[in-house]
């Protein structure tokens, strides 16, 4: 299959506003295309790490009047020296969107966010994507979207086959994922 981008773009590490991101450069093209093509009310991200993809998603939500939430068991920091202050995130009050907690011990809290009116986009990019997907897919409403990073690296079709069938999840944006960033997959609740 021929891609529209440079042959290395799917594996080229990148930054967002000069801050390291653990996504390939192509991921931003995919997110732009997805988020500009659908209406949504919130994005919930599992796996903040340094918070730089989170910052991108936060700013996108801010510009669209949508909610953004990100969860991790560790504190985020854009810098190798985690004691450095991230002035940009402070100015934007990014901390209001971040929750340092174990998502599996807070299923009720997170499911209540998913269940709010309007489309939710749930992105599993934490340390246990398989369990994240299985634990939270059942709370999706019709029209909601769930995505994963590290597709066929850390999470495989056989890992989610049963839950996808049981929860009536259909592949979503599959052509775009394959063409732009093959390490991300999305499903829509039908």
Instruction: Find where tokens 């993809």 sit.
Output: 53
CATH superfamily ID and name for 24-76+84-189: Vaccinia Virus protein VP39 (3.40.50.150)
DSSP state at residue 140? P
Is the per-residue pLDDT at 1 higher than 60?
A: no
Domains in the chain: boundaries: 24-76+84-189
C-alpha span between 176 and 166 (Å, rounded): 25
Average pLDDT estimate for 122-141: 97
Tens of pLDDT, residue by residue over 65-91, are: 999 999 999 887 766 665 567 888 889
Widest distance between CA atoms in the chain: 45
Mean pLDDT of the chain: 91
The candidate with the shortest Cα–Cα distance to 47, out of 21, 67, 9, 65, is 21
| pLDDT attached to residue 87 | 84
What average pLDDT does the segment 38-47 reach? 98
For 102-108, what is the mean pLDDT?
98
Residue 4, pLDDT above cutoff 60? no
171: number of Cβ within 10 Å = 12
The pLDDT value given to residue 81: 62
- Given the DSSP bridges, would you call strands 19-24 and 67-72 parallel, antiparallel or unpaired? unpaired
List all residues 6 or more positions away from 52 whose beta carbon is below 8 Å from its beta carbon: 15, 16, 17, 19, 20, 21, 78
Rounded Cα gap, residues 103 and 48, in angstroms: 12
Greater confidence (93 vs 79) lies with 93
Considering only residues 16 and 162, tell me which one the structure prediction assigns the higher pLDDT. Answer: 162
Place of tokens 């909610």: 67
> Given a cut of 80, is residue 41 above it in pLDDT?
yes
């Amino acid at each position: 299959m021929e891609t529209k981008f440079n042959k290395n773009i799917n594996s080229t590490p990148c930054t967002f506003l000069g801050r390291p991101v653990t996504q390939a450069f192509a991921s931003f093209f995919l997110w732009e295309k997805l988020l500009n093509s659908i209406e949504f009310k919130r994005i919930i991200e599992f796996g903040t790490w340094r918070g730089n993809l989170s910052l991108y998603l936060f700013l996108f939500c801010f510009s669209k009047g949508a909610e953004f939430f990100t969860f991790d068991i560790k504190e985020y920091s854009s810098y190798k020296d985690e004691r450095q202050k991230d002035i940009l995130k402070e100015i934007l009050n990014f901390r209001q969107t971040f929750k340092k907690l174990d998502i599996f011990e807070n299923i009720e809290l997170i499911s209540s966010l998913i269940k709010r009116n309007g489309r939710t986009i749930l992105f599993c990019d934490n340390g246990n994507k398989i369990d994240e997907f299985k634990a939270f897919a059942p709370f999706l409403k019709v029209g909601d979207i769930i995505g994963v990073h590290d597709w066929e690296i850390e999470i495989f079709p056989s890992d989610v086959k049963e839950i996808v069938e049981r929860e009536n999840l259909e592949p979503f944006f599959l052509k775009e994922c394959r063409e732009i960033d093959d390490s991300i997959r999305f499903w829509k609740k039908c």
